[in-house]
Amino acid sequence: MKVGLIGAGRIGRIHAENIVHHIPRVQIARIADVAADKVRDWAKGLGITQVTTDVRELLADPEIEAVLVCSSTDTHADIVVAAAEKGKHMFCEKPVDLTLERARACADAVAQADVVCMIGFQRRFDPTFSALKARVEAGEIGDPEMLVITSRDPGAPPIEYIKHSGGIFKDMLIHDFDVFRWMLDDEADTLHATGSSLSDPAIAAAGDIDSTAVTIRTKRGRLCQINTARRAAYGYDQRFELLGSLGMLQAGNVRPTQVTAYSRTAVSSDVPEAFFLERYRTAYALEIAHFFEAVQDGKPVRTTVADGLKALELADAATRSWREGRIIKLGAA
């Protein structure tokens, strides 16, 4: 099966390397990247020689059955619609788009073309998170009642990135909103979000915040609290815990090593894996393998374009809740 890679930046390269090393039946036939010249050497090392700046050229190749959309977010919607029209299956990095309108247009195009469109919510493939989900589904904690998500980056991205990120809720919490829906298997009824800019005045100046506290009450009355920060001095912090009627399950961070040190003053172990590339290394590999299995076996993907849309709706509601200082009723106009 031949596939095309659109966007060979950090995340695009991870997917490409996972395919080359671990999915022998899939071949990356073409790469399109706005900076094609900077990509060629790396691509050659993987045995890929067709590198272009022209996405349309890639999409026009009839041998290419699927594309990986890893370009910048503002390009996603056009590519998704175009790829759907060409009948290509798609793996698209999150978010589909920063606006609900364009994201809905993508979902419509995908539905009409009847192609697979999987969204890159890699956390659903993290071994710890997915093991926890399986245990919830097996009934280990009875009915889920309360979810607490802690999601913190090791540091804020450059302010230029933040300015075009769509805001912290769409850029960072979109993953947490997806984890919320996945873990509780329920939909939001009301959402409250607040936040502050505590680490850098430039973030506030850019109209954004770096610390947020979100509360969701679901249609079935379950509760979810999400706390996030752009800067955790100790590294990338990705935990959640789910209280149910019969017990609780916690998903903890991953430590690089299992060394424990005893000094005069403390017993200490490693800080968590540094950032998402390390923390979700295995998740990225499992995610992309899942995509190709689903495409080839005609099975449903775990993270659909509808999931992407739902997460975006929550991110949009959170943004409004924070900006307008009010509780948002989901599903209401």
Q: Give, as ranges, the residues between 31 and 50 that touch a copy of itself (CB under 8 A).
A: 45
Cα–Cα distances (Å) from 306 to 97, 211, 281, in that order, read 13, 27, 25
Q: Give, as ranges, the residues between 265 and 284 that touch a copy of itself (CB under 8 A).
A: 265-272
Residue 261 is a binding residue for a copy of itself (CB under 8 A): yes
Q: Which is nearer to a copy of itself, 71 or 228 (CB)?
A: 228
Give the long-range contacts of residues 323-332, CB within 8 A, separation 24 or more. Answer: 325/194, 327/190, 327/191, 327/192, 328/190, 328/191, 328/192, 329/189, 329/190, 330/187, 330/188, 330/189, 330/190, 330/191, 331/189
Q: What whole-number distance in Å separates Cα of residue 293 and Cα of residue 138?
A: 24
Q: Which is nearer to a copy of itself, 89 or 152 (CB)?
A: 152
Residue from 224, 283, 301, 328 that binds a copy of itself (CB under 8 A)?
224
Name the segment binding a copy of itself (CB under 8 A); options: 32-40, 101-109, 177-185, 227-235: 227-235
Residue 254 is a binding residue for a copy of itself (CB under 8 A): yes
The total number of residues shown for the chain amounts to 333
Residue from 73, 128, 151, 319 that binds a copy of itself (CB under 8 A)?
128
Q: Which is nearer to a copy of itself, 80 or 184 (CB)?
A: 184
For CA atoms 10, 16, 20, 21, the dihedral sign is positive
Residue 65's SS3 state is: strand
Residue 253 is a binding residue for a copy of itself (CB under 8 A): yes
Q: Which is nearer to a copy of itself, 87 or 207 (CB)?
A: 207
Q: Give, as ranges, the residues between 129 and 168 that touch a copy of itself (CB under 8 A).
A: 131-132, 135, 140-143, 145-146, 148, 150, 152
Residue from 95, 166, 195, 308 that binds a copy of itself (CB under 8 A)?
195
Q: Give, as ranges, the residues between 297 and 326 that touch a copy of itself (CB under 8 A).
A: 325-326
Q: What whole-number distance in Å separates Cα of residue 145 and Cα of residue 242?
A: 7
CB 113 within 8 A of CB 85: yes
